[in-house]
């Protein structure tokens, strides 16, 4: 089982966002405790323990079927756990339906109401929670300005581009000032360039609103650029939880090492270490003269990547990849030496 | 060349519409402006007498007296067809939603069950209601057996029986179009509405109902129009004692031997339905077209 330690609450926690009667400061915004979820015989989540802090951007990262979307749906209230507690400000919300949680969702493909205008969509949550008409209009205007769609209030969702629909979905979910915003693969339908822009936009909105975001994605690059913390999931469990750099530099096992970035996995014995296996990132590997090198092999393939070149080198310890600057003149079949600093070696638990 | 090609390609549909829709309606229209022949059928000269007859009784001396007899029949028919439509909607919407929420394989089975009555002749199915509802019928046997009543309750030959028969006959025409619109409603829209603090009632009113409206409108027309002109249920279950439009038209073409008058009423009803359809077609356009 993976135990996930509670991170201390950020110093800058702004008190105005806390619900009245919020529990003592040691209690995180959301505390997920021993949550399991089964669909018939299928176990989607197994004993999940996770804290979500105030004002943080947390990403649930994993391949499809790892349980990340199920965990998000449990937070939203669309499913209810088979076992365990989900505490929001100290109160167990696991049995509550979505409309009774101060949590909003940005759905995959946005789920904008096609029969309402953009303003109608953004104001829907306010209207449902009993805001007065003039207040709604003001808030909608403010939200549309925030997502840079100020003049689009009277349009219909089908008159907007994918990126614009995405921003309407964000404005709609943020309008009622939820305590937690859930994002289900929000960028997967956008093209590469737009996705980059929206990553920056999302991060900005999260900082400006001060609301905690939980993002579900299978895109490791997205997770690395936006998150304060990443929870890497596989087969219904959280394998590792930590800051992006921590996860990248110190993956706990083979799966995490391979899923986030690329990694050469070597048997520990080949490096004179004890334990199972060791991961080395290809960009930490330098290609040197064969004579003095710790590892030697023949170049199996050369991939030119523009700024970098990726070499695959066949060594006695297995195939190793080295990512080097520029396009220095290596050739397939040539003998090269490989070397890396000691701190590039990460022991994996497996 | 391309004009000819497109005309040729359209020919089958144009012919179908022409032969099966336009021609009968034009024939009815023409008959309605002719004079009845004593042995049925129509003859010249042209006359608007049939339309006058809807509103005025002609006395033997040729004077016209205003009569509401036929207006009453039309009114009763409209009310009955309206009630049928409302009742069908009330039953069909939950039914359609129930089917949409089942697993795909169950849906196929349930849809088959909904359309099952189409496989059996309407006349036979309506007669079955006579057998069920008559004094010695199954319903009365059950009521007596359960001790609810000692004497048979008169269930047949009244407006209630007609209404029941109409609802039964036309219910599938409401279920199927509503089902087809509800099936296309993205389930995440409902989740999104709940997520934004709507309760069940508001999810229905603000999301499901507006999105299902095209299906509801189509179903309402498919039920209302034939219910308005139906004569089988009124005849068998109503005993033909109180006339409705359908039985009136049928009567005028058979024993009444007044084809122009039957045609005139048919034209009147068709015109009413057509106008309703036109209004619906205008309202039913996708919102983007209206706001473009």
Predicted confidence band of residue A101 (pLDDT cuts 50, 70, 90): very high
pLDDT (tens digit per residue) in B111-146: 999 988 888 888 888 888 888 888 888 888 888 888
Predicted confidence band of residue B4 (pLDDT cuts 50, 70, 90): confident
Q: What is the pLDDT of residue B288?
A: 44
Residues of B in contact with A172 (CB under 8 A): 196
Residues of B in contact with A105 (CB under 8 A): 191-192, 195
Q: What is the pLDDT of residue A173?
A: 95
ipTM: 0.81
Q: What are the residue ranges spanned by the domains of chain B?
A: 51-284
Q: What is the pLDDT of residue B65?
A: 79
Residues of B in contact with A156 (CB under 8 A): 287-288, 291
pLDDT (tens digit per residue) in A157-189: 999 998 899 999 999 999 999 999 999 999 888
Residue intervals in chain A for CATH 3.40.50.300 = 15-255
Q: What is the pLDDT of residue A22?
A: 46
Overall average pLDDT of the B150-165 stretch: 83
pLDDT at residue B202 tops 70: yes
- Bridge-based pairing state of the strands A277-280 and A264-267: antiparallel
Overall average pLDDT of the A28-34 stretch: 93
Residues of A in contact with B194 (CB under 8 A): 77-78, 97-99
Fold of the B51-284 domain: MetI-like fold (1.10.3720)
Closest by Cα among A215, A220, A218, A227 to A184: A215
Q: Using beta carbons and an 8 Å cutoff, which residues of A are at the interface with B?
A: 76-78, 97-99, 103-105, 107-109, 111-115, 124-125, 128-129, 154, 156, 158-159, 172-173, 176
Name the CATH architecture for the domain at A15-255. 3-Layer(aba) Sandwich (3.40)
Q: What is the pLDDT of residue A13?
A: 35
How many angstroms separate the CA atoms of A52 and A6, rounded?
9
Query: What share of chain A has pLDDT > 70, as a percent?
Result: 93
Q: How many CB pairs under 8 A join A and B?
A: 69
Q: Using beta carbons and an 8 Å cutoff, which residues of B are at the interface with A?
A: 186, 188-189, 191-199, 202, 206-207, 210-211, 287-288, 291
Overall average pLDDT of the B214-230 stretch: 90
The CATH class of A274-348 is mainly beta
Handedness of CA B82, B247, B52, B261 (dihedral sign): positive
Q: DSSP state, B150?
A: S
Residues B191-226 as b or e (16 or more Cβ within 10 Å = b): bbbbbbbbeeebbbebbbebbbebbbbbbbbbbbbb
Residue B62 vs residue A108, higher pLDDT: A108
Residue B145 vs residue A39, higher pLDDT: A39
Chain A interface test: which of B181, B185, B192 (most A C-beta within 10 Å): B192
Q: What is the pLDDT of residue B1?
A: 63
pLDDT (tens digit per residue) in B160-187: 888 998 999 999 999 999 999 999 999 9
pLDDT (tens digit per residue) in A273-300: 777 888 999 999 888 888 877 888 889 9
**Rounded alpha-carbon distances, angstroms, from residue A198 to A40, A164, A176, A190, A213:** 37, 10, 21, 9, 14
């Amino acid at each position: 089982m993976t135990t996930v330690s509670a991170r201390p609450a950020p110093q800058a926690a702004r008190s105005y966002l806390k619900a009245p009667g919020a529990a003592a400061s040691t209690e995180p915004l959301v505390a997920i405790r021993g949550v399991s979820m089964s669909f018939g015989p299928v176990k989607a989540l197994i004993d999940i323990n996770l804290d979500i802090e105030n004002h943080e951007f947390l990403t649930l990262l994993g391949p499809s079927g790892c349980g990340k979307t199920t965990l998000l749906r449990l937070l939203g209230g669309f499913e209810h756990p088979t076992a365990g507690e989900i505490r929001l400000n100290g109160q167990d919300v696991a049995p509550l339906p979505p409309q009774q949680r101060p949590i909003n969702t940005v759905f995959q493909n946005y789920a904008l109401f096609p029969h309402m205008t953009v303003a109608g969509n953004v104001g829907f949550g306010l209207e449902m929670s009993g805001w007065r008409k003039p207040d709604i209009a003001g808030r909608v205007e403010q939200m549309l300005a925030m997502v840079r769609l100020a003049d689009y209030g009277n349009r219909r969702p089908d008159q907007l581009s994918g990126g614009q629909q995405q921003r309407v979905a964000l404005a709609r979910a943020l309008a009622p000032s939820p305590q937690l915003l859930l994002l289900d693969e929000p960028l997967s339908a956008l093209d590469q360039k737009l996705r980059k822009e929206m990553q920056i936009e999302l991060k900005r909105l999260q900082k400006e609103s001060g609301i905690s975001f939980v993002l579900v994605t299978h895109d490791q690059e997205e997770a690395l650029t936006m998150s304060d913390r990443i929870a890497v999931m596989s087969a219904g469990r959280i394998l590792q939880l930590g800051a992006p750099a921590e996860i990248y530099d110190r993956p706990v096992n083979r799966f995490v090492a391979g899923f986030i970035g690329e990694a050469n996995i070597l048997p520990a014995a080949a490096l004179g270490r004890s334990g199972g296996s060791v991961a080395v990132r290809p960009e930490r590997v330098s290609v040197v003269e064969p004579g003095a090198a710790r590892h030697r092999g023949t170049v199996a393939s050369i991939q030119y990547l523009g700024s970098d070149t990726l070499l695959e080198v066949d060594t006695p310890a297995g195939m190793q990849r080295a990512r080097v600057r520029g396009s220095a003149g290596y050739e397939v079949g040539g003998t090269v030496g490989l070397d890396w600093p000691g701190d590039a070696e990460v022991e994996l638990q497996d | 060349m391309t004009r000819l090609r497109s005309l040729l390609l359209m020919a089958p549909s144009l012919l179908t519409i022409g032969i099966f829709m336009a021609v009968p309606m034009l024939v009815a229209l023409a008959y309605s402006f002719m004079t009845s022949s004593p042995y049925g059928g129509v003859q010249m000269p042209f006359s608007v007498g049939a339309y006058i007859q809807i509103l005025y009784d002609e006395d033997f001396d040729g004077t016209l007296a205003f009569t509401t007899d036929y207006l009453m029949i039309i009114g009763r028919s409209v009310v009955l067809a309206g009630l049928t439509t409302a009742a069908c909607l009330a039953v069909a919407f939950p039914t359609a939603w129930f089917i949409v929420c089942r697993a795909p394989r169950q849906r196929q089975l349930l849809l088959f069950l909904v359309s099952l009555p189409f496989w059996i002749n309407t006349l036979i199915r309506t007669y079955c209601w006579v057998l069920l509802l008559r004094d010695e019928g199954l319903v009365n046997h059950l009521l007596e057996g359960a001790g609810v009543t000692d004497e048979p309750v008169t269930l047949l030959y009244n407006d209630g029986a007609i209404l029941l028969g109409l609802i039964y006959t036309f219910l599938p025409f409401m279920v199927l179009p509503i089902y087809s619109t509800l099936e296309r409603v993205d389930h995440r829209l409902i989740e999104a509405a709940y997520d934004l603090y709507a309760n069940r009632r508001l999810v229905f009113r603000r999301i499901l109902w507006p999105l299902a409206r095209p299906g509801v409108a189509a179903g309402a027309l498919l039920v209302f129009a034939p219910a308005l002109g139906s004569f089988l249920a009124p005849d068998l279950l109503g005993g033909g004692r109180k006339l409705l439009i359908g039985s009136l038209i049928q009567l005028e073409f058979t024993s009444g031997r007044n084809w122009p008058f039957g045609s005139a009423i048919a034209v009147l009803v068709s015109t009413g339905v057509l106008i309703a359809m036109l209004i619906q077609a205008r309202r039913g356009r996708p919102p983007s077209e209206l706001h473009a």
